[in-house]
A = this chain, B = another copy of it.
Amino acid sequence: MLSDGEEYAVNEIVVRMKMGQPAVSKHLGALRRAGVVTVVKRGQHRMYRLNPTSLKSVYDWVKVYEHYWTHQIGQIKERAERKALERLIRLDDGSKPTKEE
């Protein structure tokens, strides 16, 4: 919900999520300790907001693989992998893989 960049009071989050206020406060507390959100006092409200810079490490990590989907090479390779996967497990619907070969 905070990913839209807006700031929200705890109550505003409570009404939109299907959770009670204590649960929301605990989620926000965890996110705050993790640095994912920030809080500022505004009157008797605590305004929570996404802290986008906390996502940089995630970004840096996945960026390494960027070329896999931007370059043709990666797409070809991926298709080959998927085909190999399908060959191995014939679409995993939970059923035991039909022994083959």
How many residues of chain A have a CB within 8 Å of chain B?
32
Q: Is A84 part of the contact surface with B, judged by Cβ < 8 Å?
A: yes
Contact check: which of B3, B41, B59, B84 meets A66 at CB < 8 Å?
A: B59
Once A33-B92, A62-B59, A63-B59 are accepted as A-B contacts, the answer to whether A85 and B53 lie under 8 Å apart by CB is no
What is the bound-complex CA distance between A55 and B89, given in angstroms? Answer: 21
- A56, A62, A92 pick with most chain B CB within 10 angstroms: A62
Residues of A bordering B, CB below 8 Å: 3, 32-33, 38-41, 49, 51-53, 55-56, 58-59, 61-63, 65-66, 68-69, 74-75, 78, 81-82, 84-85, 88-89, 92
